[in-house]
Structure formats: structure tokens, C-alpha cells
Amino acid sequence: MTKNIKVLYISQEITPYLPETEIASISRKLPQATQEKGREIRTFMPKYGCINERRNQLHEVIRLSGMNLIIDDSDHPLIIKVASIQSARMQVYFIDNEDYFPRRNPNGDLYCDTNFLDFDNNEERCIFFIRGTLETIKKLRWTPDIIHCHGWITSLTPLYIKKAYNDEPFFKDSKLILSIYDNEFPETFSPSFSDKLLLSGIEKKDLSSIEKNANYESLSKLAIDFSDGIIQGSANVNNALLDYTTDSKKLFLPFQNEDTYIDAYNDFYDQVMDL
């Protein structure tokens, strides 16, 4: 096992900041175990409104905050917060913005819906989270060898890394791994979604799979297209995505149980690094 590699985890949800789900549990235990194997890690997730900042001891990282991201011709301030899981000796970085991750949803309830079903700007918050994460990594001046994505909100990461950030010294050699889970959402994004994704380096032809129908399946296929390795994260996932992965000839790791996944994932990292 190659120890001195750097692994960036980008996750939709992580316990203890959100209730324990399959994604939240793996995204909590895997980075710690990877770090204990002698590898350097960074972990990012959205700062959902229901996350109690005082109880979880989140604080803003002033030197990383302050940038504005332009999405659909509008400026949106990027706020970076961080918290430590003391027992794991690991930090979690949070991407925050009051427009995209408000404390309460339109019904007045605490906002903690990781499928984003209560909001009409879901596609933009997806863009904001990934671009915010990548811009923060640049500010940290940290160069990940592996970027491991968990949850559908991370689906844009492979596209951005391979097309828009591919000349950046921090990402030009990064390998992309996508974990596919049983976390589908019923929503279809707007016809203008593909236009909002355009950055220097991204062409319309790169977005052909989502141009007419941007939903869970097409977003996942877009992520597979630009990933180097695919992991089946849940025992039961969308069969169309498994077939698409097989047809893509990408390096693939089938579902692993709780006793085997940590070692299997880290061995898979080494395989992807050898590509």
C-alpha cells in the first residue's frame, strides 16, 4: 500500500453533524481509517442549516472565506467553517452560504434535507458546493492525489476537475473516484442547468448527457464519464448505472460490507493511482 498519498473526501453528509445514514457513516469512518493508515486527508461537506454550530464547535476560517462565486450571473459569498472530531483527530470543512444553505426552509422548519427537495434552486446549490470546495482546496495550497466523492450532490466534481480545473497545479494529476449509493432524488433540473455549469474548459458537448434531462441518473452518468474509478457504495443501486459503469470499462469496485470496505477502498486507491 502506498502510504504517502493525499485523499480529499467530498461528501453530501457526515455524522455526527447529520443523522447517521449509509453515506454519513462511511464519510465519517473512512477518512479516519485512511488517515490512520498514514495517508493525509481533507474532508468537506455542506453546512446545512440544522447543524448546530455551537454544539459542534464550528468556527469560520477567515483566511479561507471572503471569495464570491458567480453562478448564473449572480455573486454569492463563500463562507468556510471548520470543526474537529477530536476522537478521530480529523477536521471537517463546511461550505456555507445563507442563500444556498439557510437555517430554515420555506416552511419555517430547520433545513436538514440532504436531498434538497424543499428548495427551487437545488441545481445552483450543487454547483456552489463543488466550486466552493475546489476553490478552498486551492486556498489551502493542498494537492490531492485522490478525490473521493460521496452522494449525488458531488456529481459535478469529476467534470470540473477534468475540464475546468485540469490546468490547476493542485488538481492536474488528481484521480477521481465516485461512490454510487442508493440515494436517488425525483427532481429534474431546469433546461438552463447545463448553461450554468459552463466555465472555461467546459464545452457544450461535455454536457450532452444532461442537456435535455438533468436528473439523478443522467448526473450520475456524467460523473462516471469523468471519473477514474467507480465504487458501488450501497448493496442496491440503480441498475442502469451499474450497466453504464460496466460499459465504460472504468475501474470498478463492487459493494463491500462493513467489515471489508475500509481496506478494500484503500487498496482501490492504489489501483487508481496506478492508472
Answer whether residue 1 is part of any domain. no
Q: Which domain holds residue 38?
A: 6-273
Q: What is the mean pLDDT of residues 92-119?
A: 69
How confident is the model at residue 185, as a pLDDT? Answer: 80
Q: Mind listing the pLDDT tens digit for each residue in 21-37? A: 999 999 999 999 999 99
**What pLDDT does residue 123 have?**
86
**Could you tell me which residue, 71 or 225, shows the higher pLDDT?**
225
Per-residue pLDDT, 107: 57
- Residue 19 clears pLDDT 70, i.e. is over it: yes
SS (H, E, C) the chain: CCCCCEEEEEECCCCCCCCCCHHHHHHHHHHHHHHHCCCEEEEEEECCCCCCHHHHCCEECCCCCCCEEEECCEEEECEEEEEEEHHHCEEEEEEECCCCCCCECCCCCECCCCCCCCCCCHHHHHHHHHHHHHHHHHHHCCCCCEEEEECHHHCCHHHHHHHHCCCCCCCCCCEEEEEECCCCCCCCCCCCHHHHCCCCCCCHHHHCCCCCCCCHHHHHHHHHHCCCEEEECCCCCCHHHHHHHHHHCCEEECCCCCCCHHHHHHHHHHHHHCC
The pLDDT value given to residue 3: 74
Laid out side by side, the sheet with 90-96 consists of 59-60, 79-85, 90-96, 40-46, 6-11, 146-150, 175-180, 229-232, 251-253
Average the pLDDT over 225-232 and give the result: 98
- The enclosing domain of 232 has a CATH number of 3.40.50.2000
Mean pLDDT of 191-198: 89
pLDDT given for residue 120 in this prediction: 66
Q: What is the structure's pLDDT at 137?
A: 97
This prediction's pTM: 0.94
Q: What is the rounded average pLDDT for all residues in the chain?
A: 91
Reported as a single tens digit per residue, the pLDDT across 107-137 is 555 556 555 555 567 788 899 999 999 999 9
| 113-117, 144-148, 155-159: the lowest-pLDDT one | 113-117
Residue 187 binned pLDDT confidence (cut-offs 50, 70, 90): confident
pLDDT for 93 beyond 70 = yes
Strands 251-253 and 229-232, sheet pairing: parallel
Q: Under a CB-based contact definition with an 8 Å cutoff, are residues 111 and 103 in contact? A: yes
Q: Please tell me the least confidently modeled range out of 87-91, 113-117, 118-122, 208-212.
A: 113-117
State yes or no: pLDDT of 73 exceeds 90.
no
Considering the chain, what percentage of its residues have pLDDT values greater than 70?
Answer: 93
Most confident of 102-106, 108-112, 210-214: 210-214
Give the highest mean pLDDT range of 3-7, 145-149, 206-210.
Answer: 145-149
- At residue 127, the pLDDT reads 94
Which pLDDT belongs to residue 104? 63
Check whether 274 has a pLDDT greater than 90: yes
Contact status, residue 41 vs residue 35, Cβ threshold 8 Å: yes
Domain count, the chain: 1
Cell of 83: 470543526
pLDDT for position 6: 98
